[in-house]
Each structure stands twice: as C-alpha cells, then as structure tokens.
Chain A
Amino acid sequence: MKRNIVRGLTAVLALLFITGCGVKKADIEPGALADALKDGIAYKDELAPIDKELAGRFYSFGDADIEEAYFYESSGATAEEVAVVKCASDDGAKTVEEAFNRRIEEQKESFKDYVPAELDKLNSAVVMRKGKCVILSVSDEPDKAGKIINSAAK
C-alpha cells in the first residue's frame, strides 16, 4: 500500500516536472499590453493612440526591425505616454530601448522649464525590455505600470 502511494506521488511529481519544463512562456501581446497600461493607470491627461509613422517624430528608432508598435500619447499638457514595441531581433529591441531612454531625457529637457511638475513622472519613467518587446510607461503610477508589464510577461 505504502509502496503504491509512493509510486503514485512520484508519478504525479514527475508529470508536473515534465509539464512544467515543457510549458513555453507565452509571448507578450504588444497591443494588449499597451491597452492594459493605458486603461489600468490613472492619467491626468487623455491619452490618444498614434501610429508608428507619427511616432517617428518623437522616437529615433533608426533601423530597428520593428514588427509591431503601439503608442498612446498625451495632448501635450503632460509627459504621460505609453509605448510598446516588439522587434524581430534582440539587437532591434536594444535599439528601441535606447530610443526610449533618449526620449525620456529629451522630455526632461522640454518640460523642465515648461511644466516642471512633470519631471517627477519622467524621473520615475518605466522602461523595460522583455525578450524582444520593449515597453515605455510615463505616469504617476510607475509601480502599477511595472506590475502590469510583469503580469503580461508571465
């Protein structure tokens, strides 16, 4: 009896181990993540979507091999924004990450005399790279943004 129980538990553990190793991490859905960041955080401004071509006015993506990109920008009243970009390669993702960091610095320069209160958001801006997906979130709730991103990456 005892032996059967041990065998049974061993089999269950082995099964769990095998299936656990075999489960592939789901890829981040960039569009869904962008929507989650836009809807899940309280913004002072109204964020509206813009396409990748228009976003080129703000971000120097260079020759990054972008597969999908989603952007939500403010009316200009604040520095709030959301950007989720998925690249085909790690090098492309690195280029986009650098572009996001540059964007934050440029925004700091723009807002420091314009609306200095926005500097707090920019100083706590979230830039994350999850595989080939790069995310930028500027808001009053950086911790919440981080949680949303990490949940999407599970």
Chain B
Amino acid sequence: MLGPAPSGDMTEEERALIERRRLVRLVSVVLVLLCTVFLAVMAGCMIALWDTGKSSNDLFAVINGTYVYARTQDELERRVTEPEETPAEDPSEDEGSSQEEPEGEGDGLSVVNEVAAGDGDGEKPAEEIAGDNSESGIASVEDAGYNTEAGLISGPNINVYVDPNVNYPLPFSEVDESYFEDALFIGDSRLQGFGMYSGMPGTFYAATGFQLSRYDSMEVVVTDSGKVPITQAMPYDSFTKIYIKVGLNEMGGNENAFLSKYAELITWLRECEPRAIIYIHGLLPVTASKSSSDKVHNNTNVNARNESLKKLAMEQRAYYLDVGSALAGADGSLPAEMAADGIHLKAQYMDIWKQYLLSHAIVIE
C-alpha cells in the first residue's frame, strides 16, 4: 500500500525520494480513514436526531454547551405556564402552604372605591350592602364545594380559590400589566378598539355591535371553527377578573330590561368563573358635537346610564369603573380630537384608558 521499500542498490537520493513518497501515502491513507470515520459519525448523529425528533440545532447546542441552559429555560417557562401537579397528601411530608400567594399587589398607593361612597338619597351605603364576610358563607374551597383538582389553570395571579367578593368593597390598588394576563374583557366596539390598540394583555370577547340582549347568541369570539357566542367560548374557571363594557349600543331602549339582562350576564359569568372579580365599565362620554346632535347618544343619557351602572355594581358586588372621568374634558365631553365619529376613541388615546385600569384594580390578599 505504501509502495516499494528502498532497496540496497539505490542511491541515497532515490532512497530519500522513496521514503518521502511512502510518508505521503501513509498520511493520505490516515486522512482518508479519519474523514470516513467522521462522516460515519455525523451520519449516525443525524439518524439519531431524526429518530428522536430533535433538530440539528440541538446537536449544535450540545456541542457548544448551550443545550443544558436552553432546556433549563424551557423548563422554567413550562413551570410558569403549566400547573404544578399537587402532590398526594402525606402527613409525613412538609409541603408548606398549598396556596399560592397572589401577585400584583399595590405598592401602597390605593384609591378609595367610589362604590363604597353612600349618597344622600336614602340608599344603603355600600357597607350595609356588602355586610361582613360571613354573609357570603364562603370562606374555603370546601364550603364552596368547588373541585380544585380539575380544570384549574395556574398563572402568576391565580389563587387556588379566594372568594372574589370577600370584604366587598375593597379599595382600588395600582397594579402592573401582569394583573391582566388572566383577565377577560367582554363588550362592544369601543372595548374591541381598546383591545387592539392599548397593548393590554388579557382575553377579549368584544365586537362591533355587541348587544347585551344577545350575549348568548351573537357570534363574537373567533375560533378555529368560526365565530361563536361568548356562551360557547367561555372556558370554566380560567379568569380571575372580568371587565364588562356594554350599554352604548343599548341606549334608547328599556332601562329596566337592560339592567335585568346585565344582572343575568353577571350571574352566568360567576357560574363559569367563580373566582372572577367583576368590573363594570362606565360608558365613555361622547364629544360635545356628537352630544348636541344625537338624541340618543349624548352625554345626558350617558351620565344617566352610568348612574344606573353604579347602582347595579353595588347590588351585584361588582366594581364600577368611571373610565370616562379620565378622558372627559372640563365640560364633561370627550375632547373632539379623541374620536373621529364622536364616539370611538382613536388609537393614540387608548393609553389613558389603560392607565386608568392599571390604577383601579382590586387585589385580594
């Protein structure tokens, strides 16, 4: 393989040449063998990757030492988004508290809940309506009879179970956006616009023309199989806050029927989402121009409806949000530059609404 060996009757030069050639051939053979082995190893690795469902990126990650780090990050993310399995109860084990502490607590800044303010016309102050905690009769999972084993989705702000009406009404606190990750927003086109342009996290079941009277039939939620009503899209026990904003599209109709339907919606939502705090959005004002030209959608009617919604919130142990106060000008109207049609807030002003929600949140400790 390496060629003829030097023989005795060759000159020194010939002998050196032959040795050199033998060396070159030896090196060549070794290189070919090494390449063959390398290619065989690579082929084996690729077959193994294909067989185990990994990609070539994983191979490179193993080689450059980042594989373990990346898998660690994946595991950390998985633990945040997926529930930890509750270990079997074992008196001999010290598992500590099984309840997660709620996050998103305020930093000490709180605003007095407007709902708590009683007015002077003989209505019961909120404290009488709320009563003490024992009135609700629900202080634990066992009392409520809720099954905590099935269907609960963990998240950064979800407690195992806390009565959302405990100590109602609580004062508002300031929170950050993570508070809204398990929030549901239900409502009309204005709320839909808020969902589009505010950058607020959460789930939005909002649509143009959404009407309270048809909440169980109007198809507003996009799914893979098409649009469905919210009653078909609502998962069980997935939200700890529900924000409702309806009322503008219903103006001009029967006020009692509207409020009755609203109460019905809240009752149904509480059955689906037993841990959810219910927020009732007040209607936003309209511009002065719109108000003076529209017999139905004007600020006199908006203010009247908002008073009804405040009372409804107290009756239903929900929290009323006077978002309009953050947007209205000195005359109580929406500034003209904020809405092209006098009603729908433009994208660049959604942050005002968002900031109001961030500073008016209920945190149950």
Interface residues, chain A, with chain B CB atoms under 8 Å away: 44-46, 48, 50, 54, 56-60, 62, 73-79, 102, 106-107, 110-111, 113-114
Contacts and interface: CB of A to CB of B under 8 A. Distances in A.
A77 B342 CA distance: 9
Given A62-B224, A110-B209, 18 more contacts: A46-B340, A46-B347, A48-B346, A48-B347, A50-B196, A50-B197, A57-B195, A57-B204, A60-B223, A75-B344, A75-B347, A76-B193, A76-B344, A77-B344, A107-B208, A110-B208, A114-B189, A114-B208
A114 B209 contact: yes
Interface of B: 189-190, 192-193, 195-197, 204, 207-209, 219, 222-224, 226-227, 249, 339-341, 343-348
Contacts of B190: 76
Contacts of A59: 222
B226 A60 contact: yes
A77 B341 contact: yes
The interface residues of chain A, by DSSP majority, are classed as: loop
B222 A58 contact: yes
B344 A73 contact: no
A135 B222 CA distance: 20
Contacts of B193: 75-76
A58 B195 CA distance: 12
A75 B347 CA distance: 7
Contact of B196 (A54, A60, A106, A113): A54
27 contacts: A44-B340, A45-B341, A45-B344, A46-B340, A46-B347, A48-B196, A48-B197, A48-B346, A48-B347, A50-B197, A54-B196, A57-B196, A57-B222, A58-B222, A59-B222, A60-B223, A60-B224, A73-B196, A75-B344, A75-B346, A75-B347, A76-B189, A76-B190, A76-B193, A77-B341, A106-B227, A114-B249
Contacts of B207: 110
B68 to A, nearest CB: 31
User: Which of B196, B207, B223, B249 has the most chain A CB within a 10 Å cutoff?
Assistant: B196
A78 B196 CA distance: 15
B347 A76 contact: no
Contacts of A110: 207-209
B340 A45 contact: yes
A121 to B, nearest CB: 13
Nearest to A54: B196
Nearest to A45: B340
Contacts of B224: 60, 62
The 7 closest A-B pairs by CB, nearest first: A76-B189, A48-B347, A114-B209, A77-B341, A75-B344, A77-B344, A110-B208
